[in-house]
């Protein structure tokens, strides 16, 4: 059984307890919901780790080729962020200089 099917089965198995807890206010069903949600959390973490490991093993042969373009992409946004605030500061200063001329 694949991971998605396991996840789906767990969520569907909790449906009855959700109904009992929220609709009928059954406290024992609430405990089962909490237990099921903890299982879901554990299962999700296991799947996340598995996916990350699979990604890392698939990308392992060629990390050097991807490192250089990633560094260039990171540098460009940083420069753009630094330049943008300077342009914003210059515009209000020009507006202040023009304001006294209109008052005379």
Q: What is the pLDDT along the chain (104 residues), one digit of tens a residue?
A: 699 999 999 999 999 999 999 999 999 999 999 999 999 999 999 999 999 999 999 876 654 555 555 555 555 555 555 555 555 555 555 555 555 655 65
Burial of 33 (0-12, 13-18, 19+ CB in 10 A): buried
Burial of 45 (0-12, 13-18, 19+ CB in 10 A): exposed
Residue 62 host element (H or E):
none
Q: Give the pTM.
A: 0.52
d(CA 27, CA 17): 10
Q: What is the pLDDT of residue 59?
A: 74
17 CB neighbour count, 10 Å cutoff: 19
């Amino acid at each position: 059984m694949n991971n998605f099917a396991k996840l789906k089965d767990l969520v569907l198995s909790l449906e009855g307890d959700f109904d009992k807890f929220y609709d009928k206010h059954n406290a024992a069903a609430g405990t089962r919901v909490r237990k099921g949600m903890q299982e879901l959390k554990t299962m999700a973490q296991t799947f996340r780790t598995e996916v990350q490991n699979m990604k890392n093993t698939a990308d392992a042969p060629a990390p050097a080729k991807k490192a250089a373009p990633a560094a260039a992409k990171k540098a460009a946004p940083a420069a753009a962020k630094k330049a943008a605030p300077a342009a914003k500061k210059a515009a209000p200063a020009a507006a202040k200089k023009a304001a006294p001329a209109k008052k005379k």
